[in-house]
Each structure stands twice: as C-alpha cells, then as structure tokens.
Amino acid sequence: MIGGSQAFLIVAVVAVCTFITRVLPFALFGRKDPPEWVLYLGRILPPAVIAILVVYCYRNVAMNAWPFGLPEFIAMAAVVALHVWKRNNLISIGVGTVLYMVLIQVVFV
C-alpha cells in the first residue's frame, strides 16, 4: 500500500520529469531552427517505430495451425483500409482492436 508521502513523491517526480522533457528542447535549441539531424530523426523515426511495432505484434502468429493468422491479418487489413480512408489514427487503431477481439473471442474460437 502506498502512503500519502510516497504518493506525493511519485507525483512530484513525474511532474519534474515531465517539466524537464518539455523545457529541454527549448533550452538546447532556443527559438532558432533545430539542427538538421534533429529534423532528420523527426522524419525517419515515426515510420521506423511503426515498422518495429508491426514486426513485434506479428512475430508469434502461427501460420501452420488453425486459424493460420486470419484474425490478425483481417484486423490489419481493416486498420490499413480505415487509415487510408479516414486518416484518423484513433479510429483505425480502435476499430482494428475491437475487430481483432471479436474475431478471436467469437468467430475463431
């Protein structure tokens, strides 16, 4: 059980860390344009992280036993189609998650 002083310390540490992560870019770069390498990382890291997450999520899909990865790939196709259609991350990921849960708990039992 967490006591009152321990809870206060946890909240204080989280607040300080959040403040530091918000202030640090301005302290390092000021109001001027960031260096080219920072802009490069800003362009290249989001797609790289998504690719790593896709590989991580599909690494244990059993392609040699029923249902042969069908729920995963149906949900993935729904996420991609919804994202291409609506361009909304929350809708595509939310619907894909709900669809996957329905598929594994109701359809492919």
Domain-wise residue ranges, the chain: 1-32, 35-62, 65-108
Taking the C-alpha atoms of residue 107 and residue 71, their distance in angstroms, rounded to an integer, is 9
pLDDT at 74: 97
CA 97, 99, 101, 106: dihedral to nearest 10 degrees? 180
pLDDT at 5: 92
- Both structure tokens of 91: 């809708």
pLDDT at 69: 93
Q: Is the peptide bond before 47 cis (omega within 30 degrees of 0)?
A: no
Kindly report whether the global pTM for this prediction surpasses the value 0.85: no
pLDDT at 30: 83
Average pLDDT for consecutive 10-residue bins of the chain (109 residues)? Answer: 90 97 89 88 94 93 92 96 95 95 94
Do the Cβ atoms of 68 and 62 come closer than 8 Å?
A: yes
Taking the C-alpha atoms of residue 90 and residue 98, their distance in angstroms, rounded to an integer, is 12
pLDDT at 109: 85
